[in-house]
Amino acid sequence: MRTEIIINVGSNESRIAILEEGKLAELFVERPEEERMVGMIYKGTVTSVLPGMQAAFVDIDIPKRGFLPLSDLVASDRAYSPFLGEPEVEELEKKGQRRSIKEMLKPGDVILVQITKEPLGGKGPKLTTQLAIPGRFTVLLPGEDHLGVSRKITNWKEKRRLKELVAPLRPEGMGVIVRTEGEGKGEKEFKSDINRLLKTWKKITKKAGKGKAPILLHRDVGITSSVVRDLFSSEVERMVVDSKREYRRILSYLQSVSSQLRPKVEYYKGEEPIFDFYGIEKEIEKMLDRKVWLKRGSYVVIDHTEALVTIDVNSGRYVGRENLEETALRTNLEAAREIARQMRLRDIGGIIVIDFIDMEGRKNRDKVYQELRGVFKRDRANVSILPISDFGLVELTRQRIKPSFLYTFSEACPLCNGTGRVLSQVTMMAKIERWLKRAKGVLKEKRLKLQVHPVVADYLLESRGQRLKKLSKESKRRLEVEADPSQKIDSYKFLLAKDGLDVTGEFMP
């Protein structure tokens, strides 16, 4: 499969698109005020222990306390006994007794924890004491006694070779997992990678020894660096980036870990915004739509509720050429492929229920089920799927690490008391910034009037208009903001300051 990585770096947000056969398959977004938390390691303080839930809450110096279930504590409790303050835990293990959370932790205990899931809604982040520090070819597991190889490496001879190669390099008292990118690599690459991770771990322990809980000890690399580290492999055809600074950083990193990939990195020099050039912007615009049209005229409807996500498949304009059963089968097979793509693209997680068009034959229901299982194999998140019921329903769960893009790109609408959603002010500023980039070098007029809803106008003019000044400086234009109550919150209008001519539509994606 032809895979490309396209990177757009802006002052307000950075975006990374994964294209498969030219179609947008995954999107990553990073904003300065919405820092990615997964992978962060803290020295935290236990605030409460809940035996009924077999879990504890931990203060890590963020607004919402972290949630630590017993299942994420057991494996590494002995490794952090200096932080747990529970020497009797080892004795319980020897006796083979089933431990409860209250036997292992008590309020006031200080422990090392790592975030495995971002905060979602009113919930705090999910934590684990089973720390993992990822590198290019390996993952270091402090306190573990384990040597593993990625499941995606299926050749048993290669698995054996990797284990025999890495075993002597494994630091004492630590586990190591060989990542997929480690396939075919030699001792030099693994030794260098493990040494880098060991240096990181030493910095963490040194800071943990000095700092008073709660304190942040380590943060994982930014989204661009993590995509280069985790996803950029020989299977990727090319990586294109529109920032010269980021382009140089990527080349520098690859020089030390995978120099053979450097020729695949390209710097985008075009005048047209990079996501417009590759047709990605239009796909992103559709990401918040409830209705997703399919090629034959059928469509799926995606709705988010408090407890789960529901997806409804409709035949729409597609009537087929044969009997009703064959029409339903064709529609459902096409919908299955698009649903898997949309779930990856929108980062939908948790419990999902899909209502396929009813089919009489068990054989046809099995075909749709197998198609759904097959297309989800490309998904890096863990997915569990139940067979289609007699009612045409499929229940599945998809690993949720961070909030869906519905919550990244939108916020509760203040005009409808939260029953609907509109684009957030941060997203609106990013859209305005991209409009100005499209106009750059084409529109000769230097003075523009920007008409937006009063809520967006207030956002642009906050802190003595710093955001507006930033937009003016980068676009090299004199911008005047006008609050217009008639404008929708998620729309804007650009007028020429000289004669009031509306030029908005000339530079839309």
* Helix, strand, or coil (residue 402): coil
Residue 469's pLDDT is 92
Is 75:139 a contact under the CB 8 Å cutoff? no
Dist. CA 253–CA 225, nearest whole Å: 9
Closest CA to 407 of 393, 395, 419, 421: 421
Residue 222's pLDDT is 83
Dist. CA 399–CA 354, nearest whole Å: 16
Quick one: tokens of 49? 């222990």
Residue 371's pLDDT is 94
* Secondary structure of 152-203 as H, E, C letters: CCCCHHHHHHHHHHHHHHCCCCEEEEECHHHCCCCHHHHHHHHHHHHHHHHH
Dist. CA 200–CA 260, nearest whole Å: 25
Dist. CA 304–CA 310, nearest whole Å: 7
Is 116:72 a contact under the CB 8 Å cutoff? yes
Angle at 12 between CA 8 and CA 18, to 5 degrees: 30
Closest CA to 114 of 3, 204, 19: 204
Tell me the chain's radius of gyration from C-alpha atoms.
Answer: 26
Residue 89's pLDDT is 38
Report the relative pairing of strands 126-128 and 110-117 from DSSP bridges: antiparallel
Closest CA to 215 of 223, 226, 225, 205: 205
Of the CA atoms within 13 Å of residue 373, those in its CB half-sphere come to 11
Amino acid residing at 280: I
Tens digit of pLDDT for each residue in 273-309? 999 999 999 998 888 888 999 988 889 999 988 789 9
Residue 13's pLDDT is 87
Dist. CA 411–CA 355, nearest whole Å: 27
293 exposure class (CB count in 10 Å sphere: 0-12, 13-18, 19+): middle
> Which residues in the chain show pLDDT less than 70?
74-98, 318-322, 414-420
A 10 A CB-CB count for 416 gives 10
A 10 A CB-CB count for 9 gives 18
Of the CA atoms within 13 Å of residue 491, those in its CB half-sphere come to 8
